[in-house]
């Protein structure tokens, strides 16, 4: 016997929104970390295009464990944002 969880349309929409928001927050955090690294090297962030910074952020997220750490640091904030109850 298998047990299936049935989600309402609202719950499915919230799950989709949660995943999209989490992905955006993780990429934003990675971009911020890349910018901090550029500054730490004594370079200027404005010498890099937005595309270059995003590429460096995506490479950073490919490092073992880096994506998981960033997800863990963003997950609770995104969960509160997406699943808060409206008053």
Domain boundaries, given as residue ranges, for the chain: 9-81
22: Cβ contacts below 8 Å, ≥ 6 apart: 71, 74, 75, 78
pLDDT at 6: 82
pTM: 0.82
At 20-32, the pLDDT tens digits run: 999 999 999 999 9
HEC secondary structure over 11-53: HHHHHHHHHHHHHHHHHHHHHHHHHHHHHHCCCCHHHCCHHHH
At 15-66, the pLDDT tens digits run: 999 999 999 999 999 999 999 999 999 999 999 999 999 999 999 999 999 9
pLDDT at 1: 67
């Amino acid at each position: 016997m298998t047990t299936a969880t049935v989600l309402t349309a609202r719950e499915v929409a919230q799950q989709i929104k949660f995943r999209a928001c989490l992905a955006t927050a993780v990429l934003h955090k990675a971009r911020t970390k890349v910018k901090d690294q550029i500054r730490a090297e004594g370079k200027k962030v404005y010498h890099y295009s937005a595309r270059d910074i995003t590429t460096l952020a995506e490479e950073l997220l490919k490092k073992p464990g880096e994506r998981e750490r960033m997800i863990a640091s963003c997950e609770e904030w995104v969960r509160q944002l997406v699943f808060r109850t409206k008053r």
